[in-house]
């Protein structure tokens, strides 16, 4: 039986059974081990009713009730493009990715990034994977509304993704690995699907940059109302109450959060066969995001991280840092 909604041409032949790694070419059970895959409301579901460990289930349940970030009622292709084009990071990412690249967003949530990258590059082939049904409903709903035909969403496990190793030119994971039970294993899983010579864009809560936000979390847990005046997002006058409520839920009531030290992330990624390209912030020189920059020495990295701590008082990403790395070709 053929897939009910065929994958874009650039993604055909990239899907595998998450259990036995047999290539998946049809809807139904894996020919090797019997693992099912189904197409449900436009989303390819490789997870089904699979049981997951308690911590992963708790995080999934959190997002089933609170998909983040959400779409406004009037959002469409034009409003999403405008919103993403106001972000220097998103503009630089879009400009760096080739027009015909294959892209995977691992832990895509409500799909705003893959929807944007697919809209901005109609010749690209984009896929987003997440475990949360509610988030994927929003992602697929927007994709369908905006008539984006070079993008597909997949329901799967970050630790057993249904992709061939080395399948994609660009693999990104933004704000995801730090919400998993085992962030280092999550990084390994994401890195595996980067093609030799391809790029990994990994964003995570960095332990130094997150310092002041962790202080705000402590104050919130102990009933101190003054924490709201210290959060740069909650001080913004252009956000409505619903968006602020969503931010509070995600940033102050999340059931699982790790903060990762940047030097160790670099070490782990390099051990997987990647070379340093750059760290973000700083946001200077973002034109050419995939152009290599000198790797900082240990003292220089310590100074950079101290700067992230100082910036944390006004950082609207709440301590998010990003490593860009390139998989070695050999």
Q: What is the pLDDT of residues 102-142, one digit of tens each?
A: 999 999 999 999 999 999 999 999 999 999 999 999 999 99
User: What digits encode the pLDDT tens for the residues 9-59?
Assistant: 556 778 888 889 988 776 677 888 888 888 888 898 988 876 555 556 766
pLDDT band at 2 (very low <50, low <70, confident <90, very high): very low
Q: Find the mean pLDDT for residues 160-176.
A: 94
- Whether the pLDDT of residue 289 is over 60: the answer is yes
pLDDT band at 4 (very low <50, low <70, confident <90, very high): very low
User: What digits encode the pLDDT tens for the residues 208-235?
Assistant: 988 887 788 777 777 766 666 677 777 7
- Whether the pLDDT of residue 3 is over 50: the answer is no
110-119 core/surface letters (b: 16 or more CB in 10 A; e: else): bbbbbbbbbb
Residue 17 token pair: 């059974």
Q: Rounded to a whole number, what is the largest CA-CA distance in the chain?
A: 59
Parallel, antiparallel or unpaired: strands 102-106 and 125-130:
parallel
pLDDT band at 285 (very low <50, low <70, confident <90, very high): low
Output the average pLDDT for the chain: 85
Question: At which residue do the structure tokens 């705003």 appear?
Answer: 112
The pLDDT, as a whole number, for residue 306 is 92
Q: Domains of the chain: which residue ranges?
A: 37-210+252-327
Specify whether the CB–CB gap between 128 and 154 falls below 8 A.
yes
Question: At which residue do the structure tokens 């490789």 appear?
Answer: 46
- Whether the pLDDT of residue 287 is over 80: the answer is no
Of the listed ranges 40-54, 137-151, 197-211, 259-273, the least confidently predicted one is 40-54
Question: Which is nearest to 122 in space by CA: 198, 9, 289?
Answer: 9
| Fold adopted by 37-210+252-327 | Rossmann fold (3.40.50)
The pLDDT, as a whole number, for residue 249 is 73
Q: pTM here?
A: 0.88
User: What digits encode the pLDDT tens for the residues 71-103?
Assistant: 777 889 999 999 999 888 999 999 999 999 999
Alpha helices in the chain (DSSP H): 54-65, 77-85, 88-96, 112-120, 133-145, 183-192, 211-221, 227-230, 241-252, 262-271, 298-311
Specify whether the CB–CB gap between 187 and 177 falls below 8 A.
yes
More confident residue, 57 or 325: 325
């Amino acid at each position: 039986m053929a897939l009910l909604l065929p994958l874009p041409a650039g993604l055909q032949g990239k899907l595998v059974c998450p259990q036995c790694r047999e290539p998946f070419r049809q809807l139904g059970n894996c020919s090797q081990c019997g693992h099912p895959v189904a197409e449900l409301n436009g989303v390819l579901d490789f997870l089904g009713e699979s049981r997951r460990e308690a911590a992963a289930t708790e995080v999934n349940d959190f997002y089933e009730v609170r998909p983040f970030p959400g779409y406004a009622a009037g959002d469409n292709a034009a409003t999403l493009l405008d919103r993403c084009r106001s972000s220097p990071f998103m503009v630089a990412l879009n400009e760096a990715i080739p027009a015909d690249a294959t892209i995977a967003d691992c832990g895509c949530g409500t799909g705003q990034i893959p929807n944007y990258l697919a809209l901005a590059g109609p010749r690209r082939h984009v896929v987003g994977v997440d475990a949360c049904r509610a988030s994927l409903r929003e992602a697929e709903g927007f994709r369908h509304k905006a008539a984006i035909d070079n993008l597909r969403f997949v329901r799967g496990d970050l630790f057993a993704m249904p992709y061939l190793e080395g399948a994609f030119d660009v693999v990104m994971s933004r704000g995801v690995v730090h919400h998993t039970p085992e962030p280092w294993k999550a990084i390994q899983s994401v890195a595996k699907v980067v093609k030799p010579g391809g790029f990994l864009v990994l964003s995570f809560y960095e332990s130094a940059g997150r310092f002041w936000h962790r202080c705000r979390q402590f104050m919130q847990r102990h009933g101190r109302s003054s924490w709201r005046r210290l959060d740069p997002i909650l001080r913004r006058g252009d956000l409505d109450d619903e968006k602020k409520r969503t931010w509070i839920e995600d940033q102050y009531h999340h059931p699982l959060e790790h903060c990762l030290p940047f030097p160790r992330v670099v070490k782990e990624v390099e051990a997987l066969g990647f070379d340093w390209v750059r760290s973000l912030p700083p946001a200077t020189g973002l034109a050419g995001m995939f152009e290599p920059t000198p790797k900082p020495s240990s003292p220089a990295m310590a100074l950079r991280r101290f700067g992230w701590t100082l910036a944390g008082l006004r950082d609207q990403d709440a301590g998010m840092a990003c490593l860009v790395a390139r998989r070695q070709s050999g």
